[in-house]
């Protein structure tokens, strides 16, 4: 019985392929919608996977044991901050010191962003080569930064405890800063003018892994200058918007998160049962946040591409109806020599599914070539489900939209179809 069905299926498949070969142009036009739909699925899944991988890499470059602390919520939330959030007091250097002393914590460093001056305008960085830019991120920090993996030193050294205590005007610069101000010279030992004060460059940092291949803009993670916290406060005396990076001891991330949370709740006097008045994230939690956003985008795009597939399906239904009418006589002949309703139904269903399945394969091929292009820009890959879902969706479209035409064909009266001109 199975063998029988199998052979009948094979016969029908061969006949269907024959028909498609006989109607090349029409077949191609019909499957166009399906092809586009499948290409979309392939592209979207590869782009989203690429963005996810890029974000993952970037966030993990801050260290998988890192805990990020800030008074406001960190992450990809949109919209205005709530009143409660806007009223929160900043984290302090003392908070960071207290965290550093927790047994589950290896080290803790505060960061103070002084890119904007007191009046909100950007602080200008000027080099000896005459270049000037306000797009550089200026971060004040403490010598403990050396023990984190946030930045990797490429040349020179980090500043010492005594330089930190003396609020010395020394700085370390990111690779984009090197590109701007010292394209041909070794920057170590040279000077940069930051907001009117000369700073001596003592170290150069490695280029950071960058989303979308990097390059300029405000988002460039390598366009950064680190200086002692005291020196930063001289540039912008009343800045207190502190960000803390704590690093958990090996294998103690969960413990460390609990400890830090408890400590900060006590220090910031959060009443029992109330939510935190600060935010705490890890690389994993930020990646997760981000993935939930891309998953939403993916869902939206899948809805869009399935609309494409639906339109393709209506095209298929249309062409199958035409085909049934055109082939009324053939159907009559088949019935006259013993085809059952089920045989005719199967024949037309297989034909529709072959048509759209073929469209799906073409879409997969073109989509796959396009994802190779995406790979040039993003560390993308095509998740296995995408081609599988794409192919089965195309075949499914053929089956669903072919059902009615096939049913019509199966129900034709033998003698009337034989008389059909």
Q: Which is nearer to another protein, 99 or 339 (CB)?
A: 339
Residue 414 makes contact with another protein by CB under 8 A: yes
- Pick from 87, 251, 342, 388: which binds another protein (CB under 8 A)? 342
**What does the chain come to in residues?**
421
**Least separation, in Å, of the C-beta of 347 and another protein?**
10
**Least separation, in Å, of the C-beta of 415 and another protein?**
4
Residue 2 makes contact with another protein by CB under 8 A: no
Residue 326 makes contact with another protein by CB under 8 A: no
**Contacts of 151 by beta carbon, 8 Å cutoff, 6+ apart:** 145, 172, 174, 205, 206, 208, 226
For residue 238, which phi and psi values (nearest 5 degrees)?
-100, 20
The window from 38-46, 286-294, 312-320, 330-338 that contacts another protein (CB under 8 A) reads 330-338
Q: Are 266 and 46 in contact (CB under 8 A)?
A: no
Q: Which is nearer to another protein, 12 or 49 (CB)?
A: 12
3-state SS, residue 381: coil
Binding mask 12-51 for another protein (x = CB under 8 A): ------xx--x-----------------------------
Q: Which is nearer to another protein, 196 or 338 (CB)?
A: 338
Residue 339 makes contact with another protein by CB under 8 A: yes
**Least separation, in Å, of the C-beta of 215 and another protein?**
58
**Contacts of 386 by beta carbon, 8 Å cutoff, 6+ apart:** 41, 42, 45, 46
Residue 336 makes contact with another protein by CB under 8 A: yes
**Least separation, in Å, of the C-beta of 409 and another protein?**
14
Task: With CA atoms as reference, report the closest residue to 356 among 6, 8, 3, 38.
Answer: 38
Q: Which is nearer to another protein, 41 or 412 (CB)?
A: 412
**Least separation, in Å, of the C-beta of 339 and another protein?**
5
Number of residues that bind another protein (CB under 8 A): 26
The secondary element (H helix, E strand) that includes residue 265 is helix 253-267
Residue 337 makes contact with another protein by CB under 8 A: yes
């Amino acid at each position: 019985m199975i063998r029988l069905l199998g052979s009948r299926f094979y016969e029908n498949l061969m006949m269907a392929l024959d028909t498609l070969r006989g109607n090349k142009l029409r077949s191609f036009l019909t499957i166009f919608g399906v092809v586009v739909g499948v290409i979309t699925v392939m592209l979207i899944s590869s782009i989203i996977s690429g963005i996810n991988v890029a974000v993952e890499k970037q966030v993990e470059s801050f260290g998988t044991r890192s805990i990020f602390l800030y008074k406001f919520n960190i992450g990809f939330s949109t919209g205005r901050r709530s009143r409660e959030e806007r009223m929160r007091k900043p984290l302090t250097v003392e908070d960071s010191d207290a965290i550093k002393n927790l047994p589950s914590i290896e080290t803790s460093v505060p960061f103070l962003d002084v890119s904007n001056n007191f009046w909100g305008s950007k602080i200008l960085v000027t080099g000896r080569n005459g270049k000037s830019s306000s797009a550089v991120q200026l971060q004040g920090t403490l010598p403990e930064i050396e023990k984190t993996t946030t930045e990797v030193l490429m040349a020179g050294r980090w500043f010492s405890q005594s330089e930190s205590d003396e609020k010395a005007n020394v700085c370390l610069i990111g690779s984009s800063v090197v590109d701007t101000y010292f394209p041909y010279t070794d920057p170590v030992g040279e000077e940069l003018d930051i907001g009117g004060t000369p700073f001596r460059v003592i170290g150069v940092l490695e280029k950071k892994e960058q989303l979308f291949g990097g390059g300029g803009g405000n988002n460039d993670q390598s366009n950064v200058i680190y200086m002692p916290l005291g020196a930063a406060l001289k540039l912008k005396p009343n800045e207190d918007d502190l960000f803390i990076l704590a690093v958990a001891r090996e294998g103690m991330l969960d413990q460390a998160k609990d400890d830090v949370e408890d400590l900060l709740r006590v220090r910031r006097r959060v009443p029992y049962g109330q939510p935190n008045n600060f935010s705490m994230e890890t690389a994993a939690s930020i990646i997760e946040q981000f993935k939930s956003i891309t998953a939403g985008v993916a869902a939206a795009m899948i809805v869009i591409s399935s609309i494409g597939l639906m339109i393709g399906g209506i095209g298929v239904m249309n062409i199958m109806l035409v085909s049934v009418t055109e082939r009324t006589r053939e159907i009559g002949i088949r019935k006259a020599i013993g085809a059952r309703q089920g045989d005719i139904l199967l024949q037309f269903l297989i034909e529709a599914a072959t048509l759209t399945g073929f469209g799906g394969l073409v879409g997969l091929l073109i989509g796959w070539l396009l994802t190779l292009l995406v790979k040039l820009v993003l560390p993308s890959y095509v998740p296995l489900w995408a081609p599988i879902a794409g192919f089965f969706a195309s075949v499914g479209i053929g089956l669903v939209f072919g059902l009615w035409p096939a049913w019509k064909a199966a129900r034709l009266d033998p003698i009337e179809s034989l008389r059909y001109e």
